[in-house]
A and B are shown apart, each in its own frame.
Chain A
């Protein structure tokens, strides 16, 4: 794990994501507001 020191949190998050995938995503659980997917996006591009 020494070589992964800079990204250890990222690495562990990836491993924990498996739980979220099986228990939240596949069940169709709503994870955020509808606007979440548009956060930070250039809306003028979407409206075209």
Chain B
């Protein structure tokens, strides 16, 4: 029996498991998908929970319910990935050898990567990039009655680059609905030169921010947060005061991948940006937020990457040339 192992049962991993189960003969191929927990969060919903548009219950389901029959689902933290020996070691479920490996281990926000931010987390600084964080932010927003609300992107790349701006527009709407918009100074503090990463979109979105009275503070490279003073500081000494800070901390890939020596220092797995394969490992594919590919870290990108992987993996199994190429397309 041949073995396909998939690391990560989020959006990318689940899609690949289900696609490959349809294509691979059950008498020839075992498919195993490994993840550290059984929570499948609808991540776009993180943005809506703070405003009550989605409830917590609406965005959290189990991973198992989306994994088709004929796929073994293992819940365990990973301990090591060994591409040379073709073995995955888990914390609590033993070792798994593989003939083909698909990696979709994602990325996460790390407040501790900004000096002082972890100490102020869920006190005066909040986030919306995880299930727990968006719930805490909902509580903080409900208690916020006015003052300066600062939205700060620590650095790029981040998951869903447009999400911070969506949050800014949603909070503008939310504050209007509560009748306190005129009591709030809304600031969008970013390391970018404007509202977004691309020049044409930035021009349009800068104007949209202006019309909504959202003040953009560009080119702000955050160095530290002083929670006692409620101030964020840039490396150049510039300071911005806040009453409520909504932070998008630095994004990092998996620490296990760093420890396994298969990722860069940020935890992202280096791959060919078109084939999504690490150099020298023709039975390994990587998709989703965990790669170092210069494209948006978004489920839509993973979806199109999955189409490429599906076609090329089947070609690899059948000994044929692999023609599918990813271009990083999101929509």
**Residue positions of A touching B, CB distance < 8 A:** 3-4, 14-15, 17-18, 21-22, 25-28, 30-31, 34, 36-38, 41, 45-46
Contacts and interface: CB of A to CB of B under 8 A. Distances in A.
B264 interface: no
Contact of A28 (B18, B58, B172, B326): B18
A46 B274 contact: yes
B306 A26 contact: no
Contact of A46 (B22, B58, B61, B327): B327
B327 A37 contact: yes
B53 interface: yes
B324 interface: yes
B19 A28 contact: yes
Contacts, number: 60
A26 B14 contact: yes
Contacts of A22: 42, 61, 66
A19 B250 CA distance: 30
Contacts of A28: 15-19, 22, 306, 310
Given A18-B44, A22-B61, A25-B11, A34 B324 contact: yes
Contacts of A14: 44
A38 B329 contact: yes
A16 B104 CA distance: 25
B325 interface: yes
Q: How would you classify the secondary structure of chain B's contact residues: helix, strand, loop or mixed?
A: helix
Interface in B292-331: 299, 303-304, 306-308, 310-311, 324-327, 329
A29 B40 CA distance: 18
B56 to A, nearest CB: 14
B304 A37 contact: yes
Contact of B42 (A18, A38, A41, A46): A18
Contacts of A17: 44
Given A37-B307, A46-B327, A25 B42 contact: no
B155 to A, nearest CB: 26
Contact of B45 (A18, A37, A41): A18
A27 B68 CA distance: 8
A4 B172 CA distance: 10
Contacts of B40: 26
A17 B110 CA distance: 28
Nearest to B22: A28
A3 B299 contact: no
A41 B327 contact: yes
Contact of B66 (A4, A26, A38): A26
B303 A25 contact: yes
Contacts of A25: 11, 15, 299, 303
A24 B26 CA distance: 23
A41 to B, nearest CB: 5
Contacts of A26: 11, 14-15, 18, 40, 66
Contacts of A27: 18, 66, 68
